[in-house]
Amino acid sequence: MRAVLISILCLGLAGPVAAEGFNNITDRARFVSLIKDRDLTRFGISLNVTPEGQIKGRAFGRDVTGAWKWNGDYFCRDLYWGSTNLGPNCQAVRLQGNKLRFISDQGSGRYADLYLK
């Protein structure tokens, strides 16, 4: 279970990138307009990503904490799941309806979809 959760939080569970029907989010202002006063959720995970650059929430019974910044076209974050350091990663962000897709390794890695609530 721990390995599965770490994969989800590191954005490595969902598979290779597929972007059909998604719009690119390439600037901080647009990203903040989407996440402000909302949570990002998926089964077992609820995160609050604040406009001020904090990440906080819960995932499968453990606290999630971290920080983020926007760098160029990418959402860059450092993340902890409990005391486990998941490390830094810069990710491409895509939007489809109320679904945000975060694609690891500057858009060349694997992805995870989180829903805006």
Do 35 and 53 meet the contact criterion of CB atoms below 8 Å apart? no
> Whose CA is closest to 25, among 49, 9, 46, 42?
49
Domain for residue 19, yes or no?
Answer: no
DSSP label at 107? Answer: H
Domain for residue 42, yes or no?
Answer: yes
Counted domains in the chain: 1
* Structure confidence by residue, pLDDT tens digits, 66-105: 999 999 999 999 999 999 999 999 999 999 999 999 999 9
Q: Could you list the residue range(s) of the whole structural domain that residue 96 is in?
A: 25-116
Domain for residue 8, yes or no?
Answer: no
CATH number for position 80:
2.40.128
- In single-letter form, the type of residue at position 82 comes to G
Query: How far apart, in whole angstroms, are the C-alpha atoms of residue 18 and residue 59?
Result: 25
Domain for residue 110, yes or no?
Answer: yes
* Structure confidence by residue, pLDDT tens digits, 37-63: 999 999 999 999 999 999 999 999 999
Query: How far apart, in whole angstroms, are the C-alpha atoms of residue 84 and residue 91?
Result: 20
The structure's pTM equals 0.84
